[in-house]
């Protein structure tokens, strides 16, 4: 298994775990906030589940498929996180359509968008690695 395939497999596990957060008792607070920071809705769950399936398929298919996953996924998630920092809503979960531009405290934007920035940035870095 290549480096790209191993990384894509790790991403599949992470994304499946994120998709499951709302369905494991104790991981959300009484207000439905994951880690007390953000609420994950059905759009988020479908996004993470679909991304996890894409990562798993790419890891199992080939090194080239896994590298393409890392590059495309990385660019999409990194841009989504950057958009969330700028306007308070991302596009991958249709947040910008459903919620529009949100006037949120910048520290909240950082905490809410850091996962996509981190996941996207690491995936892009891994995909660009020779």
Residues 1-49: pLDDT tens digits?
999 999 999 999 999 999 988 888 777 777 777 766 677 778 888 999 9
Distance CA 103, CA 125 (A): 31
What is the predicted pLDDT for the residue at 55?
98
**Residue 117: DSSP 8-state:** H
Q: What's the domain count of the chain?
A: 1
pLDDT(69) > 90 = yes
What is the predicted pLDDT for the residue at 37?
67
* pLDDT confidence bin for 87, thresholds 50/70/90: very high
Decide: helix, strand or coil at residue 2. Answer: coil
Decide: helix, strand or coil at residue 123. Answer: helix
What is the predicted pLDDT for the residue at 93?
84
What is the predicted pLDDT for the residue at 89?
87
Domain that includes residue 107, residue range = 3-128
Distance CA 74, CA 61 (A): 19
The pTM (predicted TM-score) of the whole model is 0.88
């Amino acid at each position: 298994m290549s480096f790209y395939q191993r990384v894509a497999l790790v991403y599949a596990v992470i994304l499946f775990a994120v998709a499951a957060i709302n369905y494991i008792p104790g991981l959300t607070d009484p207000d439905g906030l994951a880690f007390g920071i953000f609420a994950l809705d059905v759009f988020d769950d479908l996004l993470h589940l679909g991304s996890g399936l894409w990562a798993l398929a790419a890891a199992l298919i080939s090194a080239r498929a896994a590298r393409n996953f890392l590059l495309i996924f990385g660019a999409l998630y990194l841009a989504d996180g950057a958009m969330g920092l700028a306007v308070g809503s991302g596009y991958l979960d249709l947040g910008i359509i459903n919620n529009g531009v949100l006037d949120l405290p910048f520290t909240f934007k950082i905490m809410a968008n850091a996962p996509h920035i981190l996941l996207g940035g690491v995936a892009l870095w891994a995909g660009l690695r020779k």
